[in-house]
Amino acid sequence: MLAHSEAFSLQGSLALVTGGGTGIGRAITDALVKAGARVAVAGRRREPLEETAAVYPSKVFAYTYDVTQEQEAGNFLKRIQSELGTPTILVNNAGIHLKKKAEEVTAEEFRKVLDTHIVGAHALTAASIPLMRQAGGGSILYIASMASLFGIPYVVAYAAAKSAMLGVIRTLAVEYGRENIRVNAIAPGWIETEMSRKAMEGDPERKRKVLGRTPLGRFGSPEDIGWAAVYLCSPAARFITGTCLAVDGGISIGF
């Protein structure tokens, strides 16, 4: 039986978090470190990664990496392994947004969103699995969305990518469960970040509508996603795989 101190501890674990320097990714990084993990944060912009690493010396390590350069995923994982050790936690968080009418979305724009959220994430997942296998298991976490759970207008490419994640996690969970590799997702609701604040600026009706549909009646914080990530990656969730956890204040079941 797990002791309480062990159940939610990530002591001794190494995690890789894409997009780990800002927003929800930064909150996930913060929570993983507080739970005892070391974290490699990866992203295209070096500055926020280094700022995050500076807060946690010898705990967080900054790596410049573009997830759409999927051919580099194997070499990137080998570099992390040689410099830090074997990552047994992978958080596929990096993503881009595209908001426009479906009929106006070009094939190139659609592919770009899929390449970031699905193809690029899969490349890192595929490169991580052999390392996790050698380590005796691991946890892979995808950051999905409300758009994975219900229809949202003007985000057809984003919704396609985030919905695809649910099929991905179920397939991987079944395929690699016997090797002690768990695969789950988190679907954040309306979380108060710089991006969401900009989306709400000058649109009080939209804010009213969102809060009206959220049973808890408020926005979530990035920290809410961070601690959910810790849970799903921790021994406490050792019998959970193939699941998408909605951390959304109830909006996905609200009316």
Q: What is the pLDDT of residue 162?
A: 97
Strand partners, 43: 64
Q: Where are the alpha helices (DSSP H) in the chain?
A: 4-7, 23-34, 46-55, 73-83, 107-114, 120-135, 156-176, 194-200, 204-213, 222-233
Say which of 65, 158, 176, 231 is annotated catalytic.
158
| Predicted pLDDT at 196 | 75
Question: By the 8 A CB rule, do 249 and 20 touch?
Answer: no
What is the residue whose two structure tokens read 């991006």? 195
Between CA 93 and CA 91 the distance in angstroms is: 6
**Could you tell me if 105 and 55 are in contact, meaning their C-beta atoms sit under 8 angstroms apart?**
no
Helices (H), 69-106: 73-83
**Is there a contact between 20 and 39 (Cβ–Cβ < 8 Å)?**
yes
Is 158 one of the annotated active-site residues of the chain? yes
Cα 249 from Cα 4, distance rounded (Å):
26
Place 3 in a pLDDT band, splitting at 50, 70 and 90. confident
175-209 confidence digits (pLDDT tens): 999 999 999 999 999 999 877 777 677 778 888 88
Burial environment of residue 95 by CB neighbours within 10 A (0 to 12, 13 to 18, 19 or more): buried
Q: Which residues contact 128 (CB under 8 A, 6 or more apart)?
A: 16, 77, 87, 90, 138, 140
3-class SS of residue 203: coil
Mention the CATH class of domain 4-246.
alpha beta
Q: pTM of the prediction?
A: 0.95
Provide the token pair at 91.
């958080």
Residue 191's pLDDT is what?
A: 94
What interhelical angle do 23-34 and 222-233 show, nearest 10? 50
pLDDT tier for residue 17 given thresholds of 50, 70 and 90: very high
